[in-house]
Amino acid sequence: MRNLTATICLTVAVLFVAAMVTANSAANAEPIYHEINYPEGNGPFPVVIALHTSGGFKTVKRQISKYTNAGYAVYAPDFFRRHGISSSNRFETWTTYRKAIEAELLELIEVIKKDPKADAKNIFAVGFSNGGYWASFLAARKHVNAGASHYGVWRWPPSAGWNGYPADYFDADSNPVLAIHGDNDSVQKPRFVYDQLTIVESKSPKFKKHIFRNAGHSWDCEPCRKDGYDEEVTRQSLKMTLDLFEANKR
């Protein structure tokens, strides 16, 4: 009887664990949280994947209308939510959860390709600060036609687990990436960023950079005022990005 009881308990425990694994798998079967915005009309529309800063998903909302007004559908994923990432543990985006977020963004691209209002041949990415890292990943690994990194992440403190990315994503076959940065950026400081941009330039012939003089971080966020809102830099960086996308449509 004692052996039978032990066997039953063990079986119940195994079934419980299996159920938990199944539940977790099912919970992650859905793509990460994202919002979709379309321009007027029926489409299919070229698509921009808009990627938020370390301030979280709310920071990408002010960007969406810029791209829908230009005729793009916008998919805006919240790549923090599933993993409990916030500004306080933002470095885990590129260390602990790097592989998971890579996979989740690729799952989202598959969702886009099944969207009848999306032009599956013309998918682009734009990222802001933290999101600039992921726009670089998507274009460097040829998952999108081209990507733009606005005041993007190119390096972080070695104490947080520096591992050479996003420069390591690039090679001679990478799709175009435009890195737009300010020489007064106090978050992604030029003295740390520029050497990474030089490395990428040596690896990827389709990589381009543009450095704005006297521009800081979050130049397009009027309420942020981290390094100073700059309306002209905001306008020019948007035009450069849209020009990049237009040049790489199929």
% of the chain at pLDDT higher than 90: 82
For the chain, list the domains and their CATH numbers: 34-247 (3.40.50.1820)
Q: Is 46 helix (H, G, I), strand (E, B) or coil?
A: strand
What pLDDT shows up at residue 28? Answer: 58
Which run of H or of E encompasses 69? Answer: none
The tokens of 123 are what? Answer: 């998918």
pLDDT class for 225, splitting at 50, 70, 90?
A: low
What pLDDT shows up at residue 224? Answer: 80
Residues 148, 132: Cα–Cα separation, whole Å? 7
Q: SS3 sequence, 125-176? A: EEEECHHHHHHHHHHHCCCCCEEEEECCCCCCCHHHCCCCCCHHHCCCCCCC
Residue 105 has pLDDT above 70, yes or no: yes
Residue 3 has pLDDT above 60, yes or no: no
Beta bridge partners of 182: 212
Residues 228, 111: Cα–Cα separation, whole Å? 37
DSSP 8-state code for residue 31: P
Calculate the CA 111 to chain-centre distance: 16
Residues 127, 125: Cα–Cα separation, whole Å? 7
Q: Is 202 helix (H, G, I), strand (E, B) or coil?
A: helix
Residue 26 has pLDDT above 60, yes or no: no
Beta bridge partners of 178: 148, 208
Residue 18 has pLDDT above 70, yes or no: no
Nearest in space to 104 (alpha carbons), one of 177, 147, 51: 51
**Buried/exposed 216-238: b ≥16 CB within 10 Å, e otherwise:** bbbbbbeebebbbbbeebbebbb
Q: What is the model's pTM?
A: 0.88
Residue 175 has pLDDT above 80, yes or no: yes
Is the backbone of residue 156 left (phi > 0), alpha (psi -120 to 50) or beta?
Answer: beta
Q: Which residue has the higher pLDDT, 7 or 54?
A: 54
What pLDDT shows up at residue 114? Answer: 98
Average pLDDT over residues 166-178: 98
Q: What is the pLDDT of residues 34-71, one digit of tens each?
A: 999 999 999 999 999 999 999 999 999 999 999 999 99
% of the chain at pLDDT higher than 70: 88
Average pLDDT, the chain: 90
pLDDT class for 160, splitting at 50, 70, 90?
A: confident
Per the CB < 8 A criterion, the answer to whether 249 and 48 are in contact is: no
Residue 27 class from Cβ within 10 Å (0-12 exposed, 13-18 middle, 19+ buried)?
A: exposed
Residue 115 has pLDDT above 60, yes or no: yes
Residue 162 has pLDDT above 90, yes or no: no
